Amino acid sequence: MERINFSRYALTSKDELRGIIQAPHELVVKKTISVIDEHCERFISESPLFFLSTASAEGKCDVSPRGDYPSSIKILNKHQLIIPDRPGNRRLDSIHNIIENPNVGLVFVIPGLEEVLRMNGRATVIKDPNILETMSLNGKAPLLGIAVDVEECFIHCPRALKESKVWQPGTWIEKDDFPTITEIFQDHLKINGIAIKS
């Protein structure tokens, strides 16, 4: 299929948008809070997986999945938390973006729950060894941390996870019917002109 010129169908104003979809109920708007209350703290402490959304200075976006043991995120107070930056593939996409643009979004997930916790704020990449030492894993402290000044928190309704049936094993694919990650990785390298000899 040829590329489509999406601008032919684009909405160009908020007024046009609200002409199609009505404004949300007042309770949906008012559920947003600006503090980490006891419910948010409990949700974060039980979450082994979250997604970190960042953008560069030019506005190029990235979403990074982050997995760790529950309670790995250090909540300092009602307005601040610190995420340990564990060793990975060293691309540092999120870190680069935060240095350029501190605005971040987070989505926390608890296995088995269909609701998620959404959070927005401003991040700072820190290297304070005293703080990072308290976030050690297997005796090794992270080299960096992502400190977040929280601006918004709210529970998101279960529709997405409920409709996707993501927690229902009967809907999961058979792994043998799907290419291995190595095969996908090598095929993507080939697209970029790199062949790995077996």
Report DSSP letters for 73-114, one per residue: SEE-SSSEEEEEE---SS--HHHHHHHH--EEEEEEE-TT-S
Distance CA 149, CA 164 (A): 32
**Residue pair 154/118 in contact by the 8 Å Cβ criterion:** yes
Bridge partners for 135 per DSSP? none
User: What pLDDT is attached to residue 27?
Assistant: 87
Q: Ranked by mean pLDDT, which of 8-12, 99-103, 138-142, 175-179 comes out on top?
A: 99-103
| pLDDT beyond 90 at 196 | no
pLDDT tens-place string over residues 118-154: 999 999 999 999 999 999 999 999 999 999 999 999 9
Q: How confident is the model at residue 86 (pLDDT cuts 50, 70, 90)?
A: very high
**Residue pair 44/114 in contact by the 8 Å Cβ criterion:** no
Mean pLDDT calculated for residue range 27-54: 96
User: What pLDDT is attached to residue 198?
Assistant: 65
Domains (ranges, CATH) in the chain? 25-164 (2.30.110.10)
| pLDDT beyond 80 at 197 | no
Higher pLDDT, 138 or 196: 138
pTM: 0.92
**Residue pair 148/169 in contact by the 8 Å Cβ criterion:** no
User: What pLDDT is attached to residue 44?
Assistant: 97
User: What pLDDT is attached to residue 87?
Assistant: 87
Q: How confident is the model at residue 29 (pLDDT cuts 50, 70, 90)?
A: confident
**Residue pair 74/82 in contact by the 8 Å Cβ criterion:** yes
User: What pLDDT is attached to residue 28?
Assistant: 86
User: What pLDDT is attached to residue 88?
Assistant: 86
Neighbours of 91 (CB within 10 A): 10
Mean pLDDT calculated for residue range 49-54: 98
What percent helix, strand, coil does the chain show, rounded to 5?
A: 30, 30, 40
* 3 state DSSP class of 159: helix
Amino acid 19 reads G
- Mark out the alpha helices in 118-191 (DSSP H runs): 129-133, 159-164, 181-191
**Residue pair 143/126 in contact by the 8 Å Cβ criterion:** no
